[in-house]
Structure 1
Amino acid sequence: MSLDPHYGQQSLGDLAPKLAELTDQTLFGDIWLRPGLTPRERSLATVSALIALNRVEQLPFHLRRAQDNGISRDTLAELITHLAFYAGWPNAASAVSALRTVMNEAKTP
């Protein structure tokens, strides 16, 4: 996924400028670009962690990013199903809801 290099500034900068700077420079400017894991693998790890921790507010962004990194809707649905047994049914149900929202957004012109 080609992420706007100023994503953090746009989404966080008005209230938390240092967090925005760290998001842009360290998280997306370094960690996501390191060798060793592909963007697809990083997306799978990130989405899995967010589901396991029930961080549903961050899920839509990372589900879209996962799709941009080549992960299909079916693969995301299977990941959620698998995680239901390890992260809990409520977490998986919340993740399905987030995936549904992302899929519906994709259908809207």
Structure 2
Amino acid sequence: MTEQKTRAQQLVGDVAPKLAELTDEVLFGDVWARADLSRRDRSMVTVAALTALGRTEQLRSHLSLALDNGVTEEELVEAATHLAFYAGWPAGMTAATTLKEVLRER
């Protein structure tokens, strides 16, 4: 029986196995599991940060994770609109178009 690889292992496990391990064990195994902020709220914070920083590759997967964590489509649209004023219009537009793609793929 083959163990299913995590997303981090799929993306970089072959070239940066320690980075994949830290992503799985520390980031998602510890930081995301901390009780003082819900996974839903962590998703909103992460989407906002990735939008503001223009990290589109990671934004795509975190938009999908946000939906899995209970953030609604409407809330993500509102976040993109709100962020357009704080992170810049291109960032808000990129978040909205990336969300559109993620929703189409789901």
Length-normalised TM-score, structure 2: 0.92
In the TM superposition, what is the alpha-carbon distance from 1:5 to its structure 2 partner?
A: 7.7
Cα displacement string for residues 51-101 of structure 1 (whole angstroms, at most 9, x for unaligned residues): 011111111100000000001111100001011110000011111111011
Which residue identity is paired with 1:73?
Answer: E
Q: Which residue of 1 aligns with 2:26?
A: 26
CA change 1:80–1:105 in 2 (3 A) is same
In the TM superposition, what is the alpha-carbon distance from 1:33 to its structure 2 partner?
A: 0.1
Length-normalised TM-score, structure 1: 0.90
Aligned-residue Cα RMSD (Å) equals: 1.3
Percent identity, aligned pairs only? Answer: 53
CA distance in 2, matches of 1:39, 1:59: 16
Decide whether the 8 Å contact of 1:5 with 1:29 is kept in 2: no
The aligned length equals 103
Which residue identity is paired with 1:14?
Answer: D
Unaligned runs of 5+ in 1: none
CA distance in 1, matches of 2:83, 2:55: 14
- Greater per-residue helix proportion: 2
Correspondences of 1:51-62 after superposition (within 5 Å): 51-62=51-62
Question: What secondary structure does 1:14 align onto?
Answer: coil
